[in-house]
């Protein structure tokens, strides 16, 4: 299920100019310690809340991890050309990369 969601998100990102999207409010669960740290960072940076910090750090995280992984665009182009075994092995390797 998670893999299908990732594929859908990547497909949408390839079809939409992400800079033109409006921001969407979401709910995430964070530990009290993490929220405390985010409040301190937001205050130091002069932000009212910590949403901007989370957005900046998510963008950084995604860009850095894309450098480590195979290009998502190239993976999507190759969809259907791999055997089931190759697909499973690649998914396992990508999961390991994401963990590190």
pLDDT tens for 32-82 read: 999 999 999 999 999 998 889 998 888 888 787 776 666 666 667 766 777
Averaged over 22-27, what is the pLDDT? 78
Show the tokens assigned to 5.
């969601």
pLDDT at 24: 76
Distance CA(53)–CA(38), nearest Å, equals 7
pTM, 2 dp: 0.45
Neighbouring C-beta atoms of residue 50, cutoff 10 Å: 20
Show the tokens assigned to 46.
């002069």
Distance CA(49)–CA(46), nearest Å, equals 9
Distance of CA 18 to CAs 13, 14, 59, 62, Å? Answer: 7, 9, 12, 14
Answer with the residue of higher pLDDT: 55 or 87: 55
Residues shown for the chain: 100
pLDDT at 28: 87
């Amino acid at each position: 299920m998670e893999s299908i969601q990732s594929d859908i998100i990547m497909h949408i990102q390839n079809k939409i100019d992400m800079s033109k999207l409006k921001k969407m409010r979401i709910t995430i669960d964070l530990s009290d310690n993490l929220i405390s740290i985010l409040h301190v960072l937001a205050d130091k940076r002069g932000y009212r809340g910590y949403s901007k910090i989370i957005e900046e750090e998510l963008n950084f995280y995604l860009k850095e991890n894309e450098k480590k992984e195979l290009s998502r665009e190239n993976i999507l182009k190759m969809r259907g050309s791999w055997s089931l075994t190759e697909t499973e092995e690649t998914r396992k390797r990508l999961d390991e990369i994401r963990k590190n």
